[in-house]
Amino acid sequence: TARNTKIIALTPEYPGATLHPDGTANSGTHTSDFDTTNKQNYYSWTTSQSSNQDYDIYVRIPVPKDYEALVSSPQICFWVYSSDTTNGTITTTFYDTAGTAQTATAVTPTSASTWQKKCSTNIGGTINATATDTTSNNYVTVLIHMQSPASGDVRIGEFSFDYLSIF
What are the C-alpha distances in Å from 151 to residues 51, 113, 155, 159? 8, 14, 14, 26
Identify the residue with better confidence: 74 or 6.
Answer: 6
Are 45 and 55 contacting, i.e. CB atoms less than 8 angstroms apart? yes
The model carries a pTM of 0.91
The predicted pLDDT at position 1 comes to: 65
Tell me how many degrees the CA angle 9-102-150 measures, rounded to the nearest 5: 75
Assess whether pLDDT exceeds 80 at residue 51: yes
Are 141 and 61 contacting, i.e. CB atoms less than 8 angstroms apart? yes
The predicted pLDDT at position 129 comes to: 56
Question: Could you report the per-residue pLDDT of 60-119, keeping only the tens digit for each?
Answer: 999 888 888 888 888 899 999 999 999 999 999 999 888 899 888 999 999 999 999 999
